Amino acid sequence: IAKAARSAAMLSGAPYTLNGVEYQISFTKDDGDGLMQVKAAFELGLASTNIHFENGTIMPITAAEFSAFAAWFVARRNEFFV
């Protein structure tokens, strides 16, 4: 039951505000994997993209905005494991 509750909470996620818009961000394994793919793309010179989350949220983001979002995402996702 605890594992199912954690999975549901990770999928439900938490709100993140970017450019005045609030996005509901999920924290699943697939979301974490996607974050790493976006990080690599920005490191290779991509200027902007849309991040698709498992809960259905699509958030447009630029390379300049990514570091702050990634730090928030990692901290919030880590709450499920400590």
- pLDDT attached to residue 82: 81
Q: How far apart are CA 44 and CA 29, in angstroms?
A: 23
Q: Does residue 42 contact residue 63 with C-beta atoms inside 8 Å?
A: yes
Tell me the per-residue pLDDT of 28-68, one tens digit each, with 9 for 90 and over. 999 999 999 999 999 999 999 999 999 999 999 999 999 99
Average pLDDT value for residue range 6-10: 94
- pLDDT attached to residue 50: 98
57-80 burial code (b ≥16 CB/10 A, e <16): bebebebeebeebbeebeeebeee
